[in-house]
């Protein structure tokens, strides 16, 4: 896996345990959400957030540093 897009709210809870597992494996990820950045816990404030509706250029820039 080269990277992941993680929607913050899942049908059965929040995605933060998955984010912690990806971080432990040094796999880059981006949060996607309609939530404001203040909803993200302090330990994940360094993770890029792409707001819905999503734009593919913004996602690529957030994950891989590509120009938006």
Domains of the chain with bracketed CATH: 4-64 (3.40.50.2300)
User: Given this model, what pLDDT does residue 66 score?
Assistant: 57
pTM score above 0.85 = no
Residue 68 tokens read as: 């938006």
User: Given this model, what pLDDT does residue 64 score?
Assistant: 75
**Which tops the pLDDT comparison, 18 or 36?**
18
DSSP tally for the chain: helices H, then strands E: 2, 5
């Amino acid at each position: 896996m080269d990277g992941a897009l993680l929607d913050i709210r899942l049908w059965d809870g929040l995605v933060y345990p998955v984010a912690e597992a990806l971080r432990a494996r040094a796999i880059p990820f981006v949060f996607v959400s309609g939530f404001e950045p203040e909803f993200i816990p302090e330990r994940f404030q360094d993770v890029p957030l792409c707001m819905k509706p999503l734009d593919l250029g913004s996602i690529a820039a957030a994950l891989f540093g590509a120009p938006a």
